[in-house]
Amino acid sequence: MTLLLQPHRMRQKILTTVVLLAAFTGLYATTFVNYLLFHSLAEIFSIVVAFSIFVLARNSAKYIHNAYLLFIGIAYLFIGFLDLLHTLSYKGMPIFTDYAYYANQLWIGARYMESITLLIAFTFLGSKKLPGVEQIFAVYFLMTALLVASIFSWKIFPVCFIEGIGLTSFKKISEYLICAILVMALYLLYRHQEKFERKTYHILFASIICTIISELAFTFYISNYGFSNLIGHYFKIFSFLLVYLAIIKTGIERPFELIFRELKESNQNLAAEISWRKRMQQQNEGLIESLHKALDDIQTLESILPVCMYCKKVRDDSKSARGKGPWMRMEKFLYQKNGTAISHGCCPECYERLKEDM
């Protein structure tokens, strides 16, 4: 069955790779039409992936025995929401036109939330269940609400980008600080890699690397439509996809593999049990045969009748377990055992010998 599944999986992987390459190529082609179109599609793609991460993690909670991934899954719902607001407020979008700084502020706020989440998630590492799911959800909801209010309502969030000038000092420092937090998360992931499945560990490691590259790309652009901005969005998509893949590997594929592995182990255990029972049956048959032989030997010994070599009396051991029965004449013994009466006579040999003596 495994041999049949391998070609199918290989074809599926090749098809997925081709589709992703075509999607990324087509996405890049949109930059020649309108950069705003590229940005909207790239962000919508990552937002859909972020929401999918949350849906998968939430509905696979009973299969994912890794609180680290469950915690990240909850956080990505709110990260995706901030990215959605960032997309709607991006320069050129006719929605939030009263203030020119929304998009970059929302971006840096979302990245802070993402990096801190990847770091804090290690506090839940080693737990099979995520404690206080409702409380965690409420905390992220409150944080998101305060962040949105500080940008849209109170307008106290620091300015991150000024058109024609570029990134502000706050934005640059924030990007480097976010990269430092991600490096710390990467180090902790490396230190605790034994608590992850090998594939999941490599996927998460690559995801954090892509996030760091994305943040570095956003530290030196001077235009919202620049090339480094484009590179940053690509690596952001890669990082989101890798987290999504880690959730799928742990929450969907692994449970089925675990079921098949447990079924295989059960079959192996059953086969071992059957083999053990066969060996025990053979041993029991050998033991029974030995017991039969011993019983035959006992019956043979019991069938031996002790006879006095001088007077020819016999000993009746049937009434004594220790072989100390009474001695009696042969005639009496036979009569008591089976009612055989004895009549005396003389054989020809004895007759000839006795005749000579007489």
pLDDT number for residue 3: 43
Q: Is the pLDDT of residue 254 over 80?
A: no
pLDDT for residue 258 is more than 60: no
pLDDT of residue 261: 52
Do 18 and 113 lie in one domain? The reply is no
Percentage of the residues of the chain whose pLDDT score is greater than 90: 34
**E-state strands within 158-226:** 161-162, 166-167
Examine the fold and report which residue of 261, 289, 319 is the final residue of a domain before the chain moves on. 261
Quick one: 229 and 338 in the same domain? no
**Rounded mean pLDDT, 15-41:** 88
What is the CB neighbour count within 10 angstroms for residue 128?
Answer: 9
Q: What percent of the chain has pLDDT over 70?
A: 84
Residue 21 falls within a domain, yes or no? Answer: yes
DSSP string, 218-258: TTS-SSTTSHHHHHHHHHHHHHHHHHHHHHHIIIIIHHHHH
Task: Tell me 152's DSSP state.
Answer: I
Q: What integer pLDDT is reported at residue 4 of this predicted model?
A: 44
Q: Are 184 and 308 contained in the same domain?
A: no
Residue 269 is assigned to a structural domain of this protein: no
H or E segment and range at residue 315 = strand 314-315
Same domain, 145 and 232: yes
Among 122-136, 186-200, 299-313, 341-355, top mean pLDDT goes to: 186-200
Q: How far apart are CA 247 and CA 114, in angstroms?
A: 16
Give the lowest-confidence range in 34-43, 76-85, 240-249: 240-249
Do 81 and 141 meet the contact criterion of CB atoms below 8 Å apart? no
Q: Which two tokens stand for residue 354?
A: 């006795």
Q: Return the higher-pLDDT residue of 249 and 321.
A: 249
The total number of structural domains that make up the chain: 3
Q: Which amino acid is at 296?
A: D
Q: 21 with 68, same domain?
A: no
- The pTM of this model reads 0.68
The helix-helix angle for 102-120 and 67-88 (nearest 10°) equals 180
95 with 122, same domain? yes
Identity of the highest mean pLDDT range in 20-24, 109-113, 282-286, 341-345:
109-113
* Interatomic CA distance for residues 111 and 178, integer angstroms: 7
Flag whether 42 is in a domain.
yes
Average pLDDT, the chain: 83
Q: What is the pLDDT of residue 165?
A: 79
Q: What pLDDT, on the 0 to 100 scale, is given for residue 251?
A: 58
- Give a yes or no: residue 284 inside a domain: no
What tokens were used for 185? Answer: 């998360």
DSSP H helical ranges for 30-101: 35-59, 67-88
**Most confidently predicted of 157-161, 224-228, 327-331:** 157-161
Are 210 and 239 in contact, with CB atoms under 8 Å apart? yes
pLDDT at 117 over 70: yes
Per-residue model confidence (pLDDT) at position 156:
95
How confident is the model at residue 297, as a pLDDT?
57
259 has pLDDT over 50: no
**179 and 325, same structural domain?**
no
The CATH number covering residue 148 comes to: 1.20.1070
pLDDT above 70 for 349: yes
284 versus 81: the higher-pLDDT residue is 81
Structural domain span for residue 9: 1-30
- Residue 343 inside a domain? The answer is yes
pLDDT at 320 over 70: no
| Together in a domain, 164 and 15 | no
Section 306-311 average pLDDT: 79
Cα gap 177→187, rounded to integer Å: 15
In the predicted model, what is the mean pLDDT of residues 30-39?
88
Instruction: Average the pLDDT over 203-231 and give the result.
Output: 83
Question: Is the per-residue pLDDT at 324 higher than 80?
Answer: no
**Which tokens hold the place of 233?**
């969005």
Whether residue 133 lies inside any domain: the answer is: yes
Given this model, what pLDDT does residue 224 score? 60
For the chain, what is the HEC assignment? CHHHHHHHHHHHHHHHHHHHHHHHHHHHHHHHCCHHHHHHHHHHHHHHHHHHHHHHHHHCCCCCCCHHHHHHHHHHHHHHHHHHHHHHCCCCCCCCCCCCCHHHHHHHHHHHHHHHHHHHHHHHCCCCCCCCHHHHHHHHHHHHHHHHHHHHHCCCCCCCEECCCEECHHHHHHHHHHHHHHHHHHHHHHHCHHHCCHHHHHHHHHHHHHHHHHHHHCCCCCCCCCHHHHHHHHHHHHHHHHHHHHHHHHHHHHHHHHHHHHHHHHHHHHHHHHHHHHHHHHHHHHHHHHHHHHHHHHHHHHCCCCECCCCCCEECHHHCCCCCCCEECHHHHHHHHHCCCCCCCCCHHHHHHHHHHC
**Greatest mean pLDDT range, 139-148, 217-226, 259-268:** 139-148
128 and 5 fall within a common domain = no
Same domain, 26 and 74: no
The first and second tokens of residue 24, run together, are 């990324």
10 and 130: one domain? no
Residue ending a domain, among 238, 261, 284, is 261
If one compares 108 and 261, the residue with the highest pLDDT of the two is 108
| pLDDT band at 256; cut points 50, 70, 90 | low
Chain-centre distance of CA 143, in angstroms? 33
Query: Confidence class of residue 306 from pLDDT cuts 50, 70 and 90?
Result: confident
On whether both 153 and 239 belong to a single domain, the answer is yes
| Domain membership flag for residue 282 | no
Query: 166 vs 173, which has greater pLDDT?
Result: 173
Residue 291 lies inside a defined structural domain of this protein: no
What DSSP character marks residue 306?
A: P
